Amino acid sequence: MIVARVLAIPFMLAVSSSITPPGLCQDANLALPVHQEIIISQDVQKQIAERYEDKAIDFMVFIQSIQEAILKNKIDKVAPSIQYPIRVDINGRQKLIKSRKQMLQLLPKIFTKNYKNRILEDFSDLHVLSQGIMLGRGSMWINLDQKNENWMIITINN
């Protein structure tokens, strides 16, 4: 269930996720609780609203869906939201992933326990830059695909 609260100005949202059962995540390897609220500073929300206008709310829903997929350990739900081709790190070596099918085969090697925890920690630490929206220190980059106007993961720094 996604709950959005409108804050001080338009497009200012805090999105909260409640996944049953309460307590710890279904994946015992993830350190974060199942109920996690993504709180984005008003300054960052304003930057997103100014840059992406009517797609700002869609962004909040998008990152919420990514977070829930990670919390529910359903990483395969993330694959359709990735812009291909994309470079990732597998066992210390760069690999170019060319398709969703290839990504699905390699998901466990890409979305490791440590990487999933890092992404979850970075959701509330967003930076709006010319290349897109960066989570934390660059663990993931998200941008609006101008062709179909969908939010996409454009970089995975695992």
Total domains in the fold of the chain: 1
Using pLDDT thresholds of 50, 70 and 90, give the confidence band for residue 38.
low
pLDDT in tens, 46-78: 999 999 888 888 998 998 899 889 888 898 999
Asked if the model's pLDDT at residue 33 lies above 60, the reply is: no
Pseudo-torsion of CA 146, 147, 151, 155, nearest 10°?
A: -80
Measured in whole angstroms, how far is the alpha carbon of residue 5 from the centre of its chain? 19
Phi, psi of 135 (to 5 degrees): -90, 130
* Residue 78 · residue 69 · CB < 8 Å: yes
Q: What is the 3-state secondary structure (H, E, C) of 39-107?
A: ECCHHHHHHHHHHHHHHHHHHHHHHHHHHHHHHCCCHHHCHHHECCCEEEEECCEEEEECCHHHHHHHH
Question: Tokens 């470079």 correspond to what residue?
Answer: 87
Both tokens assigned to 117: 């925890």
pLDDT in tens, 89-145: 998 899 999 999 999 999 999 999 999 888 888 877 899 999 999 998 899 999 999
Of the candidates 105, 102, 103, 112, the residue with the CA atom closest to the CA atom of residue 139: 112
DSSP state of 36: E
Q: Tell me the whole-structure pTM to 2 decimals.
A: 0.75
Identify the domain containing residue 51 by its residue range: 2-156
